[in-house]
Amino acid sequence: MAATIIDSGIFGDIFSTAAMRAVWSDENRTQKYLDVEAALARVQAGLGIIPREAADEIVANCRVEKIDMAKLKARTEAIGYPVLGVVSQLNALCRDRLGEYCHWGATTQDITDTATVLQIREALALVDDDLAALSSTLAGLARRYRDTPVAGRSNLQQAIPVTFGYKMAGLLAAVERHRARLAELRPRVLVGEFAGAAGTLASLERGAMETQAELMRALGLGQPLIAWHTMRDCIAEVGAFLGLVGGTLGKIETDIKLMMQTEVAEVYEPFAPGRGSSSTMPQKRNPISCCYIHAAISVVRQHAAALIDAMVADHERSTGPWEIEWIVLPEAFCLIAGALRQARFILDGLEVDAARMRANLDITNGLVMSEAVMMGLGPHIGREYAHDLVYDLCRAALAQNRPLLELLAEHPEIGRHLDRTALARLCEPANYLGQAGTMVDRVLASLSR
């Protein structure tokens, strides 16, 4: 019976995905143990360390469907680790005691860590696919809304106009940085482990380093320079990376749910009948996917911190910190997969109301253009004096509930330098978008590089 949100029959595909759960499932983890054991046997047979016949027999039985999972559960509970239970069953499956050559020179953590790295490789591929899809969608939104004015906001107040394409391009640039980070961390993280009891490979009298090198080559992993049984920085780096991705997903959902507010109403999550409705208020359209993302990434951040805590390990084999990874690494990946899925859903069907964006720029009676007016007056009367003068006129416009343009046009000192037509140009939001379009173009151009 499922008890966690990730494995829930109701919530599971909201907060995670079937593909990511499969990566971290008991079955896949156990198969990864077997994959490492099979590769080790092949390599050692090739180096003449174990008999070829033994390797063939071991490899033939390294299939998860041959493992009695109930027996493995009981053995793990008794011993504390699953690898020995897998090795014992594998040994028993092999004929003529050939299974005795299984796990030759390895220690439990060698197999566990290398299997975990293989799982991480699969999991990162799923994350990369989602990031690539997000990038493509954000690029389309940035391109489409390159020149669509929207209020830029500072401290939740209207600041100056930007464009919606500019907002999307900023997110796109962040997603592309995550993709670059992922490419950079792979060579550091996708490194296996085969080092023996305390990391020195004393268990093999000959062919130790050759076994290590060939094993990693067979698994498509990097060869470690030195054992990393209690050097967990690379696993922690994965957690930090997931936390960073979650942070950007949080930025996406935060802006969207704020822009979905009734008083703003500039964008909406995709519509589906009944989605986001309230049990008591029929008019409501709640930001459901945004809420799911917010919850998931909050936990991912805590898990990233836990993985850093797991770096504080004792001596050459630790007592406790390692097991932190067993708990939080699968959950972090599963939750980030769910958050990525929700973000893709939102952005793929995002409803954008450009007319409402423009209308919201006009609700302050032109005050959103005060900086533009100040900069326009600056060459004539000095920037600092222009600031103070426009500040006073803004307060008057608020008090009198009049358009800023009218008060500007009536002011005799301003009128000596700028007529109403010139002032109207300064008060037009579409004329004060700065280099927003150029920056969008730069981000889009970077994709091809």
* Active site amino acids: 278, 317
Q: How far apart are CA 432 and CA 149, in angstroms?
A: 9
**Mind giving me the DSSP string for 9-70?**
TTTHHHHS-HHHHHHTSHHHHHHHHHHHHHHHHHHHHHTTSS-HHHHHHHHHT--GGGS-HH
Phi, psi of 427 (to 5 degrees): -90, 5
Instruction: State whether residue 350 is helix, strand or coil.
Output: coil
Integer-rounded Cα radius of gyration of the chain: 30
Instruction: Give 368's contacts (C-beta < 8 A, 6+ positions apart).
Output: 151, 158, 159, 160, 161, 361, 429
Q: How far apart are CA 307 and CA 313, in angstroms?
A: 11
Q: Under a CB-based contact definition with an 8 Å cutoff, are residues 373 and 160 in contact? A: no
What pairs with residue 157 in β-bridges? 154
What pairs with residue 267 in β-bridges? 352
